Copies of this chain bind each other. A is one copy, B any other.
Amino acid sequence: MVIDRLIDAIKAKDGNPSVIGLDTCVDYLPDGMREKCVNLSESGKRITDFNFALIDAIKDVVPAVKVQVAYYEQYGVEGMAAFRDTLAYAHQAGLMTIADVKRNDIGSTASAYAKGYLVPGAPFESDFITVNGYLGSDGVKPFVDQCKANDKGIFVLVKTSNPTSGELQDKQFSDGVTLYDSMAGLTDAWGEELIGKYGYSGVGAVVGATHRRQAELIRAAHPHLFFLIPGYGAQGGKAEDLAVCFRDGIGGIVNSSRGILCAYRKDKYASYDFAEAARMAAIDMKEDIKACL
């Protein structure tokens, strides 16, 4: 099962429960590459070059990459080609892939999205995608159906890492359950047939590192949910806050994007090129997180 493969990949990488977020935009590129981004086509090519070098540098350190499609969509069709090629290159490099797309729609339309990502040979084939569950079960079912058919997985947005996520997600329904906990409960149900040998389901949850109390509550109430954990690093989430997401060293995978992609701009890594700096930062992130589990 895909979730077992992800956990096995974490174990195989020295128990490193982290994922590098390839939120690559032109602004993050080193000067020499950024200057060449004079149009969409050149931007797409330089972003692809950057990602390929980064993947080569970190592929023996981390088990997975997360590719955030928004950063590619903004460069149009040419950006989407970079998105496609990055997912394929990471897969060839032996990394698990998470397409962070937060797609959501009514059933017939969700089926079309699922065909784009979760079917063998799909144009943007990934091991996992992220999904927004606001539409309820029949909007998520087409994704789950493809997960079952093709050994793929999804992460449903439960408690997001952004500052105002509580505005709706933390509100309590009249039955005493918060919106985020209601979403976690639905996510449990969607994934109940996809639980693997470690007790986690291929239908997991996005739970931000920036909201420790909620993460702790979700972990306690939803033992089968594997967490995709954004918010570490640039967004302010600390390794010590992440420990509540894990049991016996497993239970989630922590994402860092800007902190790794732009590591070469930090004093600590300034003597390295961008790819080597990313590798050093990824190793430091691993040690930081593992020390707290």
Is A238's beta carbon under 8 Å from chain B? no
**A247 CA to B265 CA in the complex, in Å?**
56
Distance to closest chain B CB from A176 (angstroms): 8
**A84 CA to B76 CA in the complex, in Å?**
8
Distance to closest chain B CB from A70 (angstroms): 4
The interface residues of chain B lying within 8 Å CB-to-CB of A163 are 138
Is A136's beta carbon under 8 Å from chain B? yes
Q: Is the CB of B70 within 8 A of A113?
A: yes
Is A92's beta carbon under 8 Å from chain B? no
Is A271's beta carbon under 8 Å from chain B? no
Interface-facing stretch out of A2-10, A53-61, A179-187, A217-225: A179-187
**A169 CA to B106 CA in the complex, in Å?**
14
Q: Is the CB of B109 within 8 A of A71?
A: yes
Is A18's beta carbon under 8 Å from chain B? no
Q: With A123-B40, A164-B135 given, is the CB distance from A113 to B73 under 8 Å?
A: yes
Q: Is the CB of B164 within 8 A of A76?
A: no
Distance to closest chain B CB from A218 (angstroms): 16
The count of identical subunits is 2
Is A277's beta carbon under 8 Å from chain B? no
Q: Which of A162, A179, A182, A183 has the most CB of B within 10 A?
A: A162
The residue from B23, B71, B73, B102 contacting A104, defined by CB atoms under 8 A apart = B102
Give 1 or 0 for each of A114-157: 1 = CB within 8 Å of chain B CB. Answer: 01100000111000000011111111000000000000000001
Is A188's beta carbon under 8 Å from chain B? no
Q: Is the CB of B106 within 8 A of A74?
A: no
The interface residues of chain B lying within 8 Å CB-to-CB of A183 are 168
**A68 CA to B113 CA in the complex, in Å?**
10
Q: Is the CB of A106 within 8 A of B160?
A: yes
A→B interface (CB under 8 Å): 23, 25, 40, 68, 70-71, 73-81, 84, 102-107, 109-110, 112-113, 115-116, 122-124, 132-139, 157, 160-169, 171-176, 179, 182-183, 186, 230, 235
Pairs A-B, 10 closest by C-beta atoms: A76-B123, A136-B167, A136-B164, A70-B112, A106-B162, A74-B116, A138-B164, A74-B115, A73-B116, A70-B113
